[in-house]
Structure 1
Amino acid sequence: MKKAYGLIVALLLLAPVALNSARAQDTLRAAAVVNDDVISVLDLSLRTRLAIASIGAKDSPEIRQRLTPQVLRALIDERLQLQEAKRLSLEPTEQEVEEAFAAIAQGNNMSPEQFTEVLRQNNVLPTAVKDQARAELAWRGVVERRIRRQITISNEQIGAEIERLKGQDGQLQYRIAELFLSVDNPGDEARVSENIARLADEIRKGTPFQAVAKQFSQSSTASVGGDLGWVTLDQIDPAVARAVQGLQKNGLAGPIRGTAGYYIVGLIDQRTFRLGEQLIDTRAIALPVRPGTSAEVIEQRMAQLAAIQPRIESCTNLQTLAKEAGEDAVVRDTGRQRPQDLPPDVARAIEGVAVGQASAPFRRADALIIAVVCGRDSSGIDRKRVEERLVQEQIELRARRYLRDLRRSADLDIRI
């Protein structure tokens, strides 16, 4: 109770609004109880404000009402993930949480102190961001310990996948963005259906798909804004495949009831896959740029990228070098693509760049980027990449089942 009371005092300091004792007591009221762990109305309110700010929407009673159910679901999942990490003695340290908070701040081109002040101006306590980071770190540790180390892909599995890929010659491939919410029990059907309908409504009203997917999607693609990459129709849920076939470029479909839950999907692009075509394998080191960032800060960050560019000699050490450019730097695997499928700015940047070398830094609206050429070859099938993708698919599938089982076995009491 002391911790919750401290949060209320802090919130009163942030928002100079006179609250009577009845309203203050309401913030202590449980929105849900997860295995005796209370999620308060205050927790839910703060996280909803954070979600609204994260997707760039304007705060209003209407949008809070639409987003609150899915925010509560996310909070419940986070409590389950934290409880499992605690059971396995895999809880992140406070230093790791603070480092994650600092990385998020840097990703918004701010110091932790500046980021904290921006949160306060939006009546969001920094603990809302730190709690979210804590849960993500905890679950990452659980997945690594309980899932990743247990996965082995056999030569037979790799061979079968290679044969399947060979059969794609001449087929259409689709680059898809997805937002996924699972349905773990029949009793969840109506609630999940309503939640994803609200999210689809937000996207159709103009909220960026990428922002909503990052905040709410339960797929592993959430970290990249829902970008599933290039796939053929036989690689995705049949109901999603039927919907994608009816889409034009940049079109949106959903909610779609799939085998394991509901989807919203967008078609980014499509192409015909040809074995033997010239392909360029690229990676990108990206530093995010927040809207309104000053020219001075952008210049400083461009200099950080420029400093590591001459030291790039292959694609094996990009993660280490990226962190030298900034804690918020992200290495994006853009994969092997035909030259004509590359984004125009990437194609221009890597013109004349040798394999293992990097382009000069260039700017997009939302990021500063160095493009790295990892290879130039024909569109044969890379056995190592096939194995890596099969491993990742298994991790996602097993992690989803793991969390589903935690939900099913939980003593859950939703009170709002």
Structure 2
Amino acid sequence: MKSAFLSLVLLIMTSPLAAQEVKLDSVAVIVDQGVILESEIQDLITTVKRNAVVNNQSLPSDRALRTQAIERLILTNLQMQMADRMGIQISDPQLDQTIRNIAQNEGMTLEQLRKQIALEGLTYDDYRESIRQELITGEVTRANVRRRIYITPQEISTLVDLMDQQGAEQAEYQLGHILIGFPPQATDDDIEAAKERAERVIELLESGSDFAKIAIASSSGAEALEGGDMGWMNINSMPTLFAEAVQSKRKDALIGPIRSGAGFHILKVLDTRGIEIVEVEEVNARHILIEPSIILSEDRAREMLEEFKQQLIAGEADFAELAKEHSADPGSALRGGELGFADPNIYVPAFRDALADLGPDEYSEPVRSVHGWHLIQLIERRIDDATERRKEDRAYQLIFNRKFAEETDSWLREMRDAAYIEVVGDGNA
């Protein structure tokens, strides 16, 4: 069975960066300073159809698929244009390290991953560039969305109290989502028309229509091409509007239409499951991050950390002072490089794996991740005992994740609404 990651890669393979050979075909959409080619649209539609066959999923008409494919490519194109303006790039060494980590996480060697990619009908170069694009768009999103998020101490306290009331067992939901959107400055007629469409969708679903097919054909949501599947969430990490409606609902329940500023939402509880409470080993570590640049080579960045390590071992330098002076991670640099207690699985694979080999107070060799070169010192390991601090950290992360998802959707809509978009081809040429 194809892994979830490789399935995701299939959906992003049709970007301009992913193309192994640039074809002289027609321009289908003008997107600000960029364009979307007809071949990109057709490639994405073909990929979605191939995935549907593999997953035994029914699909709507080609015209509905084309509309969704264009929207996906518009957003990707806008994000890549913004990355160019922000100067966000992913170097070849960063990219190679990421792909090695992907292979390791999939339980494969790099050669086995190459063979798996070939079995999917892809070239390794196409796959490689699709990963680069995914990393770039991820960085663009994080950079623009994080500054929109503010979490108050009262929000954390309220959620901790709610978690205490709920006890150890909490329900988790796999949600399907269809958004019937209306324009940003919708008239009463726009809203009424969207509501009627949403009610017709509910009627179709209640009569047994396939949820994923309708989502692909009709949804304005970000997960439309995935059949509306939002994945697994508990009520604390999903949008507040959804949490209030979903709580206590059983599998296969249909919910909606629920109105928001974006349109009318229809939810389906695809599945439910309980949450097991387990003890988790946490680590407290500190690091110094050096980012290679035009004026600082990969080799020199690594050599700097090797020199720091020798100075630390010899007692000639202080880790905290080195981090404050040299680390490119502003959040931890102010704390002398210290990251605080955390589940090591939150870190990127290269960082996580280096931590796994360290004992208390030991230093790693310089480690390359997607962020740059790290010198890591493990301070302490502990077993999570669900202390108050742990609850607050978890509450903060849940709120952050929820707000990040909400703000990401808002940011994408605003970017899309502010862009100049002109569809110049209809695919019939």
Structure 2 length as normaliser, TM-score? 0.52
1:48 aligned partner: 45
Structure 1 residues 33-42 or 260-269, which shifts more? Answer: 260-269
SS of equivalent residue, structure 1 residue 269: strand
- Paired residue for 1:229, among 228, 233, 252? 233
2:254 aligned partner: 253
Distance (Å, rounded) in 2 between the aligned partners of 1:413 and 1:204: 33
* CA contact 2:45–2:65 (8 Å) conserved in 1: yes
TM-aligned CA distance change 1:95 to 1:156, over 3 Å:
same
Aligned pairs for 1:9-408 (under 5 A) are 28-55=25-52, 56-57=54-55, 64-97=62-95, 107=106, 111-120=112-121, 129=127, 132-148=130-146, 151=149, 153-166=151-164, 168=166, 173=171, 175-179=173-177, 181=179, 183=181, 185=183, 205=210, 218=222, 226-231=230-235, 236-237=240-241, 241-242=244-245, 248-249=250-251, 251=252, 253=254, 256-259=257-260, 260-261=262-263, 262-269=265-272, 279-281=277-279, 316-318=343-345, 375=384, 382-408=391-417
TM-aligned CA distance change 1:159 to 1:68, over 3 Å:
same
Question: How many Å apart are 1:185 and its aligned residue?
Answer: 2.2
Count of aligned pairs: 302
* CA contact 2:173–2:272 (8 Å) conserved in 1: yes
Distance (Å, rounded) in 2 between the aligned partners of 1:116 and 1:162: 44
2:314 aligned partner: none
TM-aligned CA distance change 1:66 to 1:114, over 3 Å:
farther
Structure 1 segments unaligned to the other structure (5+ residues): 9-24, 284-313, 327-355, 358-373
Question: How many Å apart are 1:138 and its aligned residue?
Answer: 1.9
TM-aligned CA distance change 1:321 to 1:43, over 3 Å:
closer
1:333 aligned partner: none
* CA contact 1:252–1:266 (8 Å) conserved in 2: yes
* CA contact 2:237–2:399 (8 Å) conserved in 1: no
Distance (Å, rounded) in 2 between the aligned partners of 1:127 and 1:396: 31
Larger radius of gyration: 2
1:413 aligns with 2:422: yes
Question: How many Å apart are 1:412 and its aligned residue?
Answer: 0.5
One-letter amino acid matched to 1:248 = R
Question: How many Å apart are 1:51 and its aligned residue?
Answer: 2.5
* CA contact 1:47–1:71 (8 Å) conserved in 2: yes
Distance (Å, rounded) in 1 between the aligned partners of 2:107 and 2:49: 16
* CA contact 2:148–2:407 (8 Å) conserved in 1: no
Q: Percent identity?
A: 14
Distance (Å, rounded) in 2 between the aligned partners of 1:59 and 1:173: 27
One-letter amino acid matched to 2:139 = G
One-letter amino acid matched to 1:92 = I
SS of equivalent residue, structure 2 residue 35: strand
SS of equivalent residue, structure 2 residue 278: strand
Distance (Å, rounded) in 2 between the aligned partners of 1:85 and 1:217: 23
Question: How many Å apart are 1:82 and its aligned residue?
Answer: 0.8
* CA contact 2:30–2:421 (8 Å) conserved in 1: yes
Structure 2 segments unaligned to the other structure (5+ residues): 1-15, 282-340, 354-380
Distance (Å, rounded) in 1 between the aligned partners of 2:237 and 2:388: 19
Question: How many Å apart are 1:181 and its aligned residue?
Answer: 4.9
SS of equivalent residue, structure 1 residue 226: strand
2:371 aligned partner: none
Distance (Å, rounded) in 1 between the aligned partners of 2:98 and 2:241: 34
TM-aligned CA distance change 1:117 to 1:269, over 3 Å:
closer
Distance (Å, rounded) in 1 between the aligned partners of 2:96 and 2:113: 9
Question: How many Å apart are 1:35 and its aligned residue?
Answer: 0.8
SS of equivalent residue, structure 1 residue 237: helix
Distance (Å, rounded) in 1 between the aligned partners of 2:40 and 2:229: 25
SS of equivalent residue, structure 1 residue 117: helix
Distance (Å, rounded) in 1 between the aligned partners of 2:49 and 2:152: 44
Question: How many Å apart are 1:77 and its aligned residue?
Answer: 0.8
Q: Deviations over 1:3-42 (max 9, x none)?
A: 989444xxxxxxxxxxxxxxxx7xx222322113111111
* CA contact 2:279–2:385 (8 Å) conserved in 1: yes
Distance (Å, rounded) in 2 between the aligned partners of 1:54 and 1:404: 27
SS of equivalent residue, structure 2 residue 272: strand
* CA contact 1:162–1:386 (8 Å) conserved in 2: yes
Q: Deviations over 1:75-116 (max 9, x none)?
A: 111111111111111133355456556666774957454244
RMSD: 5.4
Structure 1 length as normaliser, TM-score? 0.54
* CA contact 1:33–1:39 (8 Å) conserved in 2: yes
TM-aligned CA distance change 1:75 to 1:230, over 3 Å:
same
